[in-house]
Chains A and B, each alone.
Chain A
């Protein structure tokens, strides 16, 4: 049977991965990957090129078999992809279609193959902004249009889980914003959107949760807010008068916090909640501040730090 029971659809994680491995000869593309992601929202799946993202996605989609471990998609083992793929939409790496067929006929062919209602074709073409060019041959499409068509194809089954590999590849800035909004809408509507990308800034802008991998291994899996909270564990303070730098450093030192000096400012290792206390301390000593703000690292900084730590281990 290709249908999920109502219980399957409502309960349990969207993705549950347990010690998943895939080796090509001696090369371990995915190495003991373990994580669990609940249903709903946008999940960023990040890692540098060659990290094992595509291999993991191919295992979720039943295209390749794992060497070891196990995984479940929408509550079903990836060893039986037919049991859940009817509820999964996917864009795998670059979008591929039959160039001699129009965008619309390509989707009709897929709709027939998957048993999806053909009425969905104009709907999804409209959703991705391709309705006006639906009758043109795919051979005449730009990369961005092919990417939109790939997303439209992934939307055809009205999926519970949408797995997209680099969905904004080739899109212009306006197109990126449009697709990002679309994915967020889908995530907000209760569907699960699993977006693989190497653009961390993209994930930071749209994801609710994050799975980070490097060299086929898990680096982090959890809420994006959790990791970003850790990223904002510094307070940046700059006196109005640079001559106050010494006095400022003395006050911070007395407070027991670790800090480092920058050219005309000080970065203190402290949670952002400590900033008002800091403000009271320095104003009490007659020092005026030009800047006092939490300093956050970008997701790129965090990823690089975490992968460096992993390599060191």
Chain B
């Protein structure tokens, strides 16, 4: 599995790949932070479309205030993670490179698990980078909005930082695993990304509208709640367990199909 991981990182570590995926994530993180700090005094509690509800100055001055900008962008970051997994896995089928991979590493279980681990670590690197970008942006914007940064630079601030980073990373990786299973099923990057985005951004909202009872159990809502560390409608523990269930189910389906299906492409 280590070999698969190391081989995969040769591809992932290309500057164009790393920067190509990190760029949009950092952009959304910066946008989320700017929207949070912009007119924090007057706009607190207002709904800001895809970036959620604007926090007030007290929330921004709290120990985790400097990284909540990335929460606001969590859905975007999640969709990018879905696209990273989907593109990486589906393109192996589209280009036919899955054949040479399987000849070099015929243990399919080892191959796909190593690949998923490499992609998950790639997501971790990107999320860590986006978290740093969010922190730096917050530090730059706070003085202009008269937000105190005293509690950010404390042990409590550090603890909250790690807690939020952990939740955000886990949620983002599970978004990616959902992208992975879609790619394995469809063997097409375009189909898997459009199916994922279409379901998670459109159908999920429609389903929640019509069947209220399942609305809080659907993946995008649950993963959003996990990234936030729990919301008013979904407790943290519920979000965590449901998210893990989606993650495990995605891995199980991915493994089952990848290990059993003939490679005829």
Contact = CB atoms under 8 A, between A and B. Distances in A.
B11 A101 contact: yes
Nearest to A154: B103
A109 B103 contact: no
Interface in B81-109: 95-97, 99-107
Interface stretch (B1-9, B42-50, B203-211): B1-9
Contact of A109 (B10, B17, B102, B262): B10
Contact of B103 (A24, A92, A112): A92
A92 B97 CA distance: 10
B7 A90 contact: no
Contacts of A64: 262-264
A110 interface: yes
Given A82-B107, A96-B97, A98-B97, A108 B10 contact: yes
A98 B92 CA distance: 9
B3 A114 contact: yes
A82 B262 contact: no
Contacts of A108: 10
B244 to A, nearest CB: 29
A61 B6 CA distance: 23
Contacts of B100: 90, 92, 96-97, 110, 153
B262 A63 contact: yes
Given A93-B96, A94-B96, A100-B16, A62 B101 contact: no
Given A96-B95, A113-B3, A115-B3, A61 B103 contact: yes
Contacts of B104: 85, 110, 113-114
A9 interface: no
A105 B105 CA distance: 17
B97 A97 contact: yes
Nearest to A82: B106
A90 B99 CA distance: 10
B14 A100 contact: yes
Contact of A105 (B3, B10, B16): B10
Given A62-B106, A64-B262, A113 B7 contact: yes
Interface string A240-251: 000000000000
Interface string B132-167: 000000000000000000000000000000000000
A162 B77 CA distance: 45
A109 B105 contact: no
Interface string A114-130: 11000000000000000
Contacts of B263: 58, 63-64
B96 A109 contact: no
A85 B106 contact: yes
Given A110-B100, A112-B3, A112-B7, A81 B14 contact: no
Given A85-B106, A114-B3, A96 B101 contact: no
A108 B14 CA distance: 14
Interface in A1-51: 24
Interface string B225-265: 00000000000000000000000000000000000001110
B11 A109 contact: yes
B99 to A, nearest CB: 5
A133 interface: no
A65 interface: yes
A24 B14 CA distance: 39
A63 B102 contact: yes
B88 to A, nearest CB: 11
A101 B15 CA distance: 11
A93 B96 CA distance: 10
Contacts of B105: 113-114
B117 to A, nearest CB: 14
Nearest to A150: B100
Nearest to A81: B106
A24 B101 CA distance: 23
A88 interface: yes
A109 B7 CA distance: 5
A85 B262 contact: no
Interface string A276-294: 0000000000000000000
A113 B101 contact: yes
A112 B262 contact: no
Contacts of A100: 14, 16-17
A96 B106 contact: no
Interface string A44-77: 0000000000000010011111000000000000
30 contacts: A58-B262, A61-B99, A62-B102, A62-B103, A63-B99, A63-B103, A82-B107, A85-B103, A88-B103, A90-B103, A92-B99, A93-B96, A93-B99, A96-B97, A97-B97, A98-B11, A100-B14, A100-B16, A101-B11, A109-B7, A109-B11, A110-B100, A110-B104, A112-B7, A113-B4, A113-B101, A113-B104, A114-B104, A114-B105, A115-B3
Interface of B: 3-4, 6-7, 10-11, 14, 16-17, 95-97, 99-107, 262-264
